[in-house]
């Protein structure tokens, strides 16, 4: 039985976490297996679609994503007015602090805040987003 902190029951995957999930990263697999709900922000879907189109395995990657999204515990998080407002707050705070992060990642952080989930990521720059429930993994 695993030891350590209680796993997040509601997790949000960023693009790096989804990619490492597909690679079989044991910690990502464990977090996903132990979660009640797994969310993919719409922004992550866009990043994945772009990566699929630029790669050599687009049909296979599309099929794997479709299978993942068909799981009953997986849902897509949309961008709505609440997410847009949260984005504005995060963006302005990061700019004032001189700690910008990629714009898509500001959207992902905003979506995570609005969902009430914990963001699963390998991207260290999410650590500058104050108050973000972040599960930062190492490659």
- Tens-place pLDDT, residues 27-40: 999 999 999 999 99
Q: List Cα–Cα distances, 117 to 82, 83, 110, in angstroms.
A: 15, 13, 11
Please give the CATH architecture assigned to the domain spanning 10-136: 3-Layer(aba) Sandwich (3.40)
Cβ atoms of residues 35 and 11 within 8 Å:
yes
Residues lower than pLDDT 70 in the chain? 1-7
- Tens-place pLDDT, residues 43-64: 999 999 999 999 999 999 999 9
């Amino acid at each position: 039985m695993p030891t350590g902190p209680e796993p997040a029951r509601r997790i949000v995957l960023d693009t790096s976490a989804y990619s490492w999930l597909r690679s079989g990263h044991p910690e990502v697999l464990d977090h996903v297996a132990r979660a009640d709900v797994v969310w993919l922000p719409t922004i992550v879907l866009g990043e994945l679609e772009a990566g699929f189109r630029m790669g050599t395995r687009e049909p296979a990657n599309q099929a794997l994503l479709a299978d993942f999204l068909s799981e009953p515990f997986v849902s897509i998080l949309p961008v709505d007015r609440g997410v847009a407002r949260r984005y504005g707050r995060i963006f302005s705070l990061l700019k004032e602090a001189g700690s910008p992060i990629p714009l898509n990642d500001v959207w992902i952080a905003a979506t995570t805040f609005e969902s009430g989930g914990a963001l699963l990521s390998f991207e260290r720059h999410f650590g500058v987003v104050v108050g973000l429930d972040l599960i930062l993994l190492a490659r």
